[in-house]
């Protein structure tokens, strides 16, 4: 796998917008801790002295990043000449670099200083910045010392970035004179390493939670607090995790026995469901075949009868001497037309019975008693008499009428279930449980301010109780951690990290013992988004 493919897979796997551990990318932000004071000191000494300014530190200490910040932070009209030799360089090579940058091809030291003097008259300074200065020999350092001293006020500001091996050679070149000033860079402590990683990760679109606390401690121990080594160790750790995960995914998967058993049980359940569905269909067909015959006037149109299974079937009724028009009353018609709403009926509560009444002009022929009353529906309902809700009409209440009788006869209908009101369906809550906490308060804070994280819990009620039991400066918010909701309680809003660190001493002992740590509102706002 090539480095390019590895980087592409690395960004895609961790959902980074860019590599957070590059030395300086398009979204790079200068880390101020223990480096901004050095930057301020360099600008101050360059303004008020002619000393050659030397910054020392081991590989990975951040010398190159500091040199880039020095160039970017120059506010006055300045011509920056940056030289980064990769091999041993002498005075002649240094003179060639400087004169070419000033447009003076083939000039000597005197010509270079005269040109610098002319630029100073027009209000423009010249900064000569040398990185990897451990590659310079004694003559090259003498050249830099010469243009730093200059003639009268005509001189260049010289900045040298090197490891500590340059110090003996500088003393030899200066001949015990005070001609240079050395600033030794310091490593980060563990808290600053944590903040440095958080700044890098947030700029790349991910929170610090991508590392566990144990991993952060391991990164600090292996890097010894030097930022370049922090970048290297952190990226190697993430790359190792990614390769391990890929190897696990590629390994042949063996289905456990319990999973096979679950599949067998599911198969049996599906076969049983299919068998029950087939049996239910056959029982419905049998119930339709067993519908009792009803003898009614043959002049009537075919009518719809509700079978025991609840399905509507059209029957051709037998002939009678006189035509009769069956009448379906309004409640019965509504019940028969409510098939689509049957699934809304409560199973444990019987619906009120409905009694259908036939007009005196209608005649019903019933040579044999009807074993089960069957409701008869017709297109034009006229009148309806509704029984009390608790009264149930049974088959024993239906009287048999002689065929020759022409007087009025009333037939009691089988009770029909009246459709109940549709039950309200309450959608289940989706997403993470719990509220968003005081997210609006966090969004209103300035991104550069700090707060103290004092508690993290999976239960929102614990976070709410903690906030209520303490002073009003406690707030909490909800975020997603390892696929679950995590409720984080913070204390206060501070202008800078030092103020937040100092506020820990003012907290109650039981809270300060849990080691609260300062963090920026920028990181919290990133998590809320």
**Which pLDDT tens digit goes with each residue over 8-40?**
788 888 888 888 887 665 556 677 777 889 999
> Which residue, 207, 405, 419, is CA-closest to 320?
405
Paired with 480 in beta bridges are: 485
Kindly tell me if the per-residue pLDDT of 316 is higher than 70. no
Q: How does residue 369 score in pLDDT terms, banded at 50, 70 and 90?
A: very low
Is 135 in the same domain as 11?
no
Is 492 in the same domain as 509?
yes
- Cα gap 76→38, rounded to integer Å: 19
> What is the model's pLDDT at position 81?
92
| Sequence-ordered list of residues with C-beta below 8 angstroms from that of 214, at least 6 positions apart, any chain | none
Give a yes or no: residue 42 inside a domain.
Answer: yes
Give the pLDDT mean for 319-327: 43
Kindly tell me if the per-residue pLDDT of 82 is higher than 90. yes
Looking at per-residue pLDDT, the higher value among 230 and 175 belongs to 230
- Cα gap 422→412, rounded to integer Å: 29
HSE-CB for 491 with a 13 A CA cutoff: 25
| Sequence-ordered list of residues with C-beta below 8 angstroms from that of 408, at least 6 positions apart, any chain | 359, 360
Give a yes or no: residue 394 inside a domain.
Answer: no
- State which residues form the domain around 483: 439-528
Instruction: Residue 332: count other Cβ atoms within 10 Å of its Cβ.
Output: 23
Least confident of 45-59, 208-222, 270-284: 270-284
Count of the separate structural domains present in the chain: 4
> What is the model's pLDDT at position 47?
87
Residue 76, CA distances (Å) to 71, 120, 124, 126 in order = 11, 12, 8, 11
Looking at per-residue pLDDT, the higher value among 159 and 365 belongs to 159
pLDDT tens digits for 484-510?
A: 888 999 999 999 999 998 989 888 888
Is 41 in the same domain as 176?
yes
Is 308 in the same domain as 377?
yes
Element (H, E) at 480: strand 474-481
Is 144 in the same domain as 229?
no
Exposure letters 422-457 (e unless 16+ CB within 10 A, then b)? eeeeeeeeeeeebeebbbeebeebeeebbbbbbbeb
Give the pLDDT mean for 515-521: 89
- Cα gap 122→282, rounded to integer Å: 105
Is 150 in the same domain as 120?
yes
Helix (H, G, I), strand (E, B) or coil at 238: helix
Give a yes or no: residue 225 inside a domain.
Answer: yes
Kindly tell me if the per-residue pLDDT of 56 is higher than 90. yes
> What is the model's pLDDT at position 286?
57
Kindly tell me if the per-residue pLDDT of 107 is higher than 90. no
Give a yes or no: residue 47 inside a domain.
Answer: yes
Kindly tell me if the per-residue pLDDT of 277 is higher than 90. no
Give a yes or no: residue 467 inside a domain.
Answer: yes
Is 333 in the same domain as 294?
yes
| Sequence-ordered list of residues with C-beta below 8 angstroms from that of 76, at least 6 positions apart, any chain | 125
Looking at per-residue pLDDT, the higher value among 386 and 78 belongs to 78
Least confident of 139-143, 173-177, 266-270: 173-177
| Mean pLDDT, the chain, integer | 73
Element (H, E) at 146: helix 138-149
Kindly tell me if the per-residue pLDDT of 151 is higher than 50. yes
Instruction: Residue 258: count other Cβ atoms within 10 Å of its Cβ.
Output: 8
Element (H, E) at 280: helix 257-289
Kindly tell me if the per-residue pLDDT of 236 is higher than 60. yes
Is 139 in the same domain as 156?
yes
Is 172 in the same domain as 58?
yes
Give the pLDDT mean for 270-286: 75
> What is the model's pLDDT at position 297?
47
Looking at per-residue pLDDT, the higher value among 344 and 501 belongs to 501
> What is the model's pLDDT at position 126?
92
Looking at per-residue pLDDT, the higher value among 173 and 398 belongs to 173
Give a yes or no: residue 484 inside a domain.
Answer: yes
> What is the model's pLDDT at position 245?
78
| Sequence-ordered list of residues with C-beta below 8 angstroms from that of 127, at least 6 positions apart, any chain | 46, 71, 74, 78, 79, 80, 81, 156, 157, 158, 159
What percent of the chain is predicted at pLDDT more than 90? Answer: 25
Give a yes or no: residue 398 inside a domain.
Answer: no
How big is the CA angle at 59 (ends 56 and 61), to the nearest 5 degrees?
65
Give a yes or no: residue 360 inside a domain.
Answer: yes
> What is the model's pLDDT at position 288?
52
> CATH number of the domain that 461 lies in?
3.30.70.1070
Residue 510, CA distances (Å) to 489, 492, 504, 513 in order = 15, 17, 11, 5
Looking at per-residue pLDDT, the higher value among 1 and 73 belongs to 73
Last residue of a domain, one of 184, 209, 224: 184
Last residue of a domain, one of 184, 203, 225: 184
Instruction: Residue 489: count other Cβ atoms within 10 Å of its Cβ.
Output: 24
Assess contact for 487 and 172: CB atoms under 8 A.
no
Chain centroid to CA 446? 22
Q: How does residue 318 score in pLDDT terms, banded at 50, 70 and 90?
A: very low
Assess contact for 227 and 62: CB atoms under 8 A.
yes
Kindly tell me if the per-residue pLDDT of 381 is higher than 70. no
Is 131 in the same domain as 86?
yes
Least confident of 122-136, 235-249, 293-307, 386-400: 386-400
Kindly tell me if the per-residue pLDDT of 243 is higher than 90. no
Is 47 in the same domain as 151?
yes
- Cα gap 527→206, rounded to integer Å: 8
Q: How does residue 141 score in pLDDT terms, banded at 50, 70 and 90?
A: very high
Give the pLDDT mean for 63-92: 89
Is 43 in the same domain as 80?
yes
Q: How does residue 330 score in pLDDT terms, banded at 50, 70 and 90?
A: very low
> What is the model's pLDDT at position 38?
92
Q: What is the C-alpha radius of gyration for the chain, rounded to an integer number of angstroms?
A: 45
pLDDT tens digits for 193-205?
A: 999 898 888 888 8
Mean pLDDT: which of 264-273, 352-361, 367-376, 411-420 is highest? 264-273
Alpha helices (H) in 84-137, listed in sequence order: 91-101, 109-121
pTM of the model: 0.47
Assess contact for 527 and 481: CB atoms under 8 A.
no
């Amino acid at each position: 796998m090539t480095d390019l493919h590895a980087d592409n897979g690395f960004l895609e796997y961790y959902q980074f917008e860019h590599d957070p551990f590059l030395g300086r990318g398009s979204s790079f932000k200068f880390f101020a801790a223990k480096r901004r004071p050095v930057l301020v000191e360099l600008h101050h000494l360059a303004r008020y002295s002619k000393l050659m300014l030397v910054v020392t530190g081991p590989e990975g200490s951040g010398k190159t990043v500091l040199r880039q910040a020095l160039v970017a932070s120059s506010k006055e009209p300045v011509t920056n000449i940056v030289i980064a030799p990769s091999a041993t360089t002498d005075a002649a090579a240094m003179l060639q670099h400087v004169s070419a940058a000033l447009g003076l091809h083939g000039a000597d030291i005197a010509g270079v200083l005269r040109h610098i003097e002319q630029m100073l008259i027009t209000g423009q300074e010249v900064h000569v910045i040398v990185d990897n200065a451990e590659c310079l020999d004694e003559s090259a350092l003498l050249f830099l010392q010469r243009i730093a001293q200059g003639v009268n006020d005509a001189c260049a500001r010289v900045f040298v970035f090197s490891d500590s091996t340059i110090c003996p050679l500088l003393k030899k070149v200066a001949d015990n004179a005070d001609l240079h000033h050395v600033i030794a860079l310091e490593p980060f402590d563990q808290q600053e390493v944590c903040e440095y990683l958080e700044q890098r990760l947030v700029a790349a679109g991910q929170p610090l939670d991508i590392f566990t606390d144990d991993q952060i401690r391991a990164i600090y121990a292996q890097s010894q607090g030097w930022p370049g080594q922090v970048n290297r160790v952190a990226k190697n750790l993430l790359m190792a995790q990614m390769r391990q995960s890929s190897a696990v995914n590629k390994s042949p998967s063996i289905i456990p026995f319990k999973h096979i058993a679950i599949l067998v049980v599911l198969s049996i359940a599906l076969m049983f469901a299919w068998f029950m569905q087939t049996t239910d269909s056959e029982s419905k067909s049998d119930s339709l075949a067993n519908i009792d015959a009803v003898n009614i006037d043959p002049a009537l149109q075919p009518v719809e009868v509700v079978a025991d299974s609840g399905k509507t079937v059209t029957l051709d009724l037998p002939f009678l001497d006189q035509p009769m028009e069956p009448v379906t009353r309004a409640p019965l018609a509504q019940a028969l037309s409510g098939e689509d709403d049957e699934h809304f009926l409560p199973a444990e509560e019987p619906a009120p019975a409905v009694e259908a009444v036939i007009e005196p002009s209608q005649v019903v022929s019933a040579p044999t008693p009807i074993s089960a009353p069957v409701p008869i529906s017709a297109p034009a309902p006229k009148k309806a008499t509704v029984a009390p809700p608790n009264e149930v009409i049974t088959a024993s209440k239906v009287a048999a009428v002689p065929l020759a009788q022409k007087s009025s006869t009333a037939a009691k209908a089988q009770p029909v279930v009246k459709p109940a009101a549709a039950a309200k369906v309450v959608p289940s809550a989706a997403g993470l449980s719990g509220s968003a906490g005081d997210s609006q308060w966090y969004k209103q804070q300035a991104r550069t301010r700090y707060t103290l994280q004092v508690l993290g819990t999976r239960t929102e009620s614990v976070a709410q109780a903690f906030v209520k039991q303490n002073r009003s400066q406690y707030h909490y918010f909800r975020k997603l951690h390892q696929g679950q909701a995590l409720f984080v309680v913070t204390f206060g809003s501070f202008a800078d990290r030092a103020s937040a660190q100092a506020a820990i001493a003012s907290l109650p002992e039981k809270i300060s013992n849990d080691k609260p740590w300062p963090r920026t509102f920028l990181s919290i706002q990133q998590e809320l988004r």
